Structure 1
């Protein structure tokens, strides 16, 4: 059996460790995401799901434990190497789109590819293809402020997948949208993920959306279990 795309084993994280008011956020978390698997992560507010996603995406480091992406250990890597892995292997989607306001939709998707060394022409082709898949190709030349919330978030999905990562991490990716738009945008995300064979860990409060994924995990009081 091949290695999981993402594997966390024995991960712990405590903020203000050794000080009064220390907060134990993660307590020995084990988590595997297989190739092509879409896993829902549900948790009460403040339970540590964002911390877990940040550790999985190499934006934070665990106090103890192992973090592997594609079978390679990430704990102990240099900052430069961690940055390369984040750029090439991990895509991020947040509750707010975080698109660069001074650039058009297509430029927001082209820019991360240029940072990786892809030619502008090739980056443009991929960006437009991704936008077409999620139904916003006609908004390519619009800046974020000229798009609806659902359109902005779909462009953010495309940007996250621009460099063909092996893992997508999403933190409440439809949390800022009304229920009808949320459902439409989530469907677009799932279609994009399925069509690319991507592995994904998606945090959500929406149990109806979580039920549409392959597996549901619940984080509560620093412990991860089946949802």
Structure 2
């Protein structure tokens, strides 16, 4: 049985900044996440953490190296296959919630499930279950504008996990919140992750939050190492 949800091997990525020499953003990055593991990705601004997350989530392709999700190499998979893997196996959370303003909290969580072919009744039940886990079930019928920043981000977490992915990728998920709200929202995220048993790679500048995770990795000058 393969307990590795995500494995990146020898990932390199460079960008050519106009006429300047290519910038090596990632240089031979290796990382594996086992099922149920929560890993902090700590990096200074501009170090390439977003690039690494995008490659891990099949939103970008590496110059070299392989990306395996659930034990399957999907590095060079056709676009249709990559889209399906992203939909079914990967959840994304960003610093800003990006909720659809015209829909309620529950509807924002239902929609990605409907896109994946889930029946409406089951999608509603899943949305209510997730909102209950993060403690805002009573806000299910409210639109994003009627929710606080912390509530909006908790809905975004629920949306990311709606289709039961095996991997969660989060890029500064509490970076837009005040410290007290950040702690509350992060605790909700950890509860979701533990309840669902998926693997998570969470980029953060907050070392206190990073210390709450199973282990910490530092990305600096394109090289990934234990923090």
TM-score interval, smaller chain: over 0.9
Query: Cα offset for 1:96?
Result: 0.2
Alignment of 1:80-95 (within 5 A): 80-95=80-95
Structure 2 segments unaligned to the other structure (5+ residues): none
- Aligned position for 2:224: 224
Q: Distance in 2 between matches of 1:18 and 1:178?
A: 38
Alignment of 1:129-208 (within 5 A): 129-208=129-208
Q: Distance in 2 between matches of 1:174 and 1:106?
A: 21
Q: Distance in 2 between matches of 1:72 and 1:135?
A: 35
- Aligned position for 1:23: 23
Runs of 4 or more off by more than 4 Å in structure 1?
Answer: none
Q: Distance in 2 between matches of 1:63 and 1:181?
A: 39
Query: Cα offset for 1:21?
Result: 3.7
CA contact (8 A) 2:2 2:70 kept: no
Q: Distance in 1 between matches of 2:167 and 2:200?
A: 6
- The alignment of Structure 1 onto Structure 2 pairs a total of residues equal to 227
RMSD: 1.1
- Aligned position for 2:56: 56
Q: Distance in 1 between matches of 2:84 and 2:2?
A: 23
Structure 1 segments unaligned to the other structure (5+ residues): none
Q: Distance in 1 between matches of 2:22 and 2:224?
A: 20
Q: Distance in 2 between matches of 1:216 and 1:19?
A: 36
Q: Distance in 1 between matches of 2:19 and 2:134?
A: 48
In structure 2, relative to structure 1, the CA distance for the partners of 1:18 and 1:2 (3 Å cut) is farther
- Aligned position for 1:215: 215
Given the two structures, how large is their TM-score scaled by the length of structure 1? 0.98
- C-alpha distance after superposition, 1:170-200 (max 9, x if no partner): 0000000000000000001001100111100
Secondary structure, aligned partner of 1:53: helix
Given the two structures, how large is their TM-score scaled by the length of structure 2? 0.98
